[in-house]
Structure 1
């Protein structure tokens, strides 16, 4: 019995020492964790993507009164008001050629400047055309065969337009003109040795026409030619 007391005392001291060492170790670990947390840089804020650039709306359609761009050919064709006659105008690089015909005997070729949207064209015999043109149409007044007509001709695309052909057939000089309208109608006059007559239709695939049994090569009328 005398040896059990000291042994219990020794064991109790050992347990207390172990408890103290564990507590000290945990305290040291918490202190180190706190220190590391204090030294760590703050977390970066979530990046925000830049807003997408706003879409630039397309430009508005140009005004109908705006002239066609330089370097591009614009062709206008239609019927005159209150009549079966037709008129066509081809504009390019500040110059224009116009053709008026009724598909029977009356016709007139006219040429002149076309600047700033204005038309002032002249031809023989007594043909004149004045008016304006833009991106969508040409409008004004044409005089031919001693009569005056108002016109409002829309912009057209090939094969619509104004055509011209010349040839010598059986010794006779043939000069012919045609206007092809958007609906496919062809109106033309052929002058054979100066005597006008209705022109036969153009073969638009071969660009030819048959006049008095002969073949006439046909091409689009050009403002500068």
Structure 2
């Protein structure tokens, strides 16, 4: 009997130790099994750089950064340097029409390209105009009636500008041109069956002029489309 007590105590201790070992092992296994999914979900499915480039707005091809082509008309008008004759230029869509007249009998209509700020215009009889234009003025040289003048014409707004009118008056063909300057003065020449004469003033309200007793409709001159 004296040896059975210590033996039972040892056996009881072994059983308790075995039970604790088993419980500890199960706890470690469950902890490992539970932590594994958390480790997987922490990884991103794809890096930000993997977003398709098509998700970003595609840049427009070519000239998206370039200003649009100007379609608005610009008109310049003034007197030639050192003279009373006048010149006016209407620019639109890379083309220009110009008119020179002295208010007596010398006149010339000229047309041509006006791209990139350059003017290179021609007309009959022997009229030419070369120069440049910008946001505030046009400058250059005009030739008409065998003479040449320098000009420096400012940008103008309506009703200033260049006008043209044609009609049949008492059987005669009338072709007239006018330049209206910023100060309101008008300079023009009317050709009646080919004979030039000073043009009467335009009625800017009705856009008409009376030439040799006949009414002539008048419109602003613009480059041909």
TM over 0.5: yes
Provide the residue aligned with 2:10 in structure 1: none
State the TM-score, normalizing by the size of structure 2: 0.69
Which aligned pairs between 1:19-30 and structure 2 lie closer than 5 A?
none
Cα shift at 1:69: 6.0
Paired with 1:88 and 1:204, the residues of 2 have a C-alpha distance of: 17
Provide the residue aligned with 1:86 in structure 2: 86
Paired with 1:87 and 1:95, the residues of 2 have a C-alpha distance of: 17
Provide the residue aligned with 2:103 in structure 1: 103
- Mark the runs of 5 or more structure 2 residues left unpaired by the alignment: 1-67
Cα shift at 1:70: 1.3
Provide the residue aligned with 1:60 in structure 2: none
Provide the residue aligned with 2:7 in structure 1: none
State the TM-score, normalizing by the size of structure 1: 0.69
Which aligned pairs between 1:155-194 and structure 2 lie closer than 5 A?
155-194=155-194
Paired with 1:222 and 1:128, the residues of 2 have a C-alpha distance of: 17
- Mark the runs of 5 or more structure 1 residues left unpaired by the alignment: 1-67
Which aligned pairs between 1:200-219 and structure 2 lie closer than 5 A?
200-219=200-219
Paired with 1:147 and 1:69, the residues of 2 have a C-alpha distance of: 36
Paired with 1:72 and 1:204, the residues of 2 have a C-alpha distance of: 22
Normalized per residue, which structure has more helix?
2
Provide the residue aligned with 1:221 in structure 2: 221
CA RMSD of aligned residues (A): 1.1
Cα shift at 1:82: 1.0
Paired with 2:81 and 2:104, the residues of 1 have a C-alpha distance of: 17
